Amino acid sequence: MDLHAAWIELLEETGPGKMMTTAYDTAWIARLAEIGEPIGELALEWLREHQLPDGSWGAEQPCYYHDRVICTLAAISALARRAYPGDRGRLRRAEAALEIMTPRLHEDPAGETIGFELIAPTLFQEAKILGALHREEIEVLKSLAPLRSAKLAMLPDGVINRSVTMAFSIEMAGNDGKDLLDVEHLQERNGSISYSPSATAYFALYVRRRDPNALAYLRSVAANGTAPNVSPIDVFEIAWVLWNLKFAVDSLHENVLDLCQSHLDHLSWSWTPGIGTGFTKNYAPKGGDETSIVYDVLKYYGRAVDIDAVLSYEKSYYFCCFNMESNPSISANSHILGALQQAGFEKTHPVIIKLLRFLGNSRMNGAFWVDKWHTSPYYATSHGAIACMGYDDQMASNAIDWILSAQNADGSWGYYSATAEETAYCLQALAIWKRRHNDQIQTDVLQRGQEWLMHHINPPYPPLWIGKCLYCPELVVKSAILSALTLIESF
């Protein structure tokens, strides 16, 4: 395989963001059939064709229960509203699936999907009112009430506008909670609500019915009736692609760097001194994860950028992604550690000590990490190991040992089943460690992984990333695969 040519092709495609369709957001598009939108009818047909064998909706692989439950509740509400006789069997099967899945939510290793505690109770009550669910209440959903109340209590001024991350999940307001919404200050300049198709569909149906700007956005992202989890994701896609590239760029021709310049310009334009950036250029809430990756990338490629933006996310014991988050992100703290290393912070600096202590205390069995943004521990562990190298080699070594112990006989890795994405993350960490400690990683470990990965390089990739449901940013995953293969080829 010509890896140089593959990188050129990837960098030329990178930009607004390539994101897979999700059942959750498509279910919200389906509701637009109520107002005569053709994409709504297309979405209804998609739902009918994509119910899973067990009666649920969501990612076929992996079976992540929060994803399945939220997607199934959204699909039930969309189909029940149309009262199409042919959907009765689908709805009965979906209700039976919920009975099995909801008691198993605690089995998901990375926890709930975004806004689950806010959205799931609303969708459940809607489905009850529509007559599509017949139990009085599912106990596990009932237990979400205090979590929902605690989250709402954190709202500044008690309302939701585009400056708070909860706007991404405004569909949780349902019909009875619209007094929570600061309607005049909700929409982004492209007509969306936080660049979320599902939140925007809710807005166009129940807040400002048939709002022309919201509908224009929805038609643009769901022209065939199916919608992604979020769009656009220009900053996120560019930053993560260039972050993966930086580990391999020394092995590539100089014209690869030429193709990076326009992408670096875009990241620079998205940057606000002191607070950084979000997942897309104009998104009002900025995030610690995106800010740290973008800082790392801009600094590595020689662009001017201020470290104060990264430091602005510091809390007492860790660094946050957003001010109102329920729990910290392991991977975000790893990325912030990497950004500070890129900035030249010494291991004795107080913030480095704080981050290492947080990461050390957050390990599972003293060896690996699980993170709220990704279903696989291989993502958090590989990124954590890379960030710790040079700061705490013992912690990195423990993670490397765990990765080595988890390799499958065929050379792959995978928490649920073997995937190219997870194999790429593990190979990245191992190859970077081998650069530093050449005698500690056997070459055949990398070669077996490389051989397996070469046979599984092409999409589709399973959705392993956690949003309101599971999703896959295809080009980000492809960049991790190319990064791993380029690193190994350099040995």
For the chain, list the domains and their CATH numbers.
3-9+232-489 (1.50.10.20), 22-228 (1.50.10.160)
Q: Which residues contact 169 (CB under 8 A, 6 or more apart)?
A: 114, 115, 118, 119, 196, 199, 468
In angstroms, the CA 463 to CA 32 distance is 25
Quick one: pLDDT at residue 151? 75
**Alpha-carbon dihedral of residues 7, 12, 16, 20, nearest 10 degrees?**
-50
In angstroms, the CA 432 to CA 439 distance is 13
- The amino acid that residue 436 corresponds to is R
- The amino acid that residue 191 corresponds to is G
In angstroms, the CA 436 to CA 487 distance is 13
Which H/E stretch holds residue 67? Answer: helix 65-82
Closest CA to 198 of 123, 100, 106, 127: 123
Which H/E stretch holds residue 125? Answer: helix 116-129
Quick one: pLDDT at residue 491? 82
In angstroms, the CA 165 to CA 143 distance is 23
Residue 465 in tokens: 């990333």
What stretches in the chain show pLDDT beneath 70? 136-139, 439
Q: Provide the CB-side half-sphere exposure for 323 (13 A, CA).
A: 11
In angstroms, the CA 171 to CA 173 distance is 5
Residue 164 in tokens: 């708070």
Quick one: pLDDT at residue 136? 65
Quick one: pLDDT at residue 137? 60
DSSP state of 314: B
Quick one: pLDDT at residue 324? 77
Q: Assign 479 to helix, strand or coil.
A: helix
Residue 190 in tokens: 């492209």
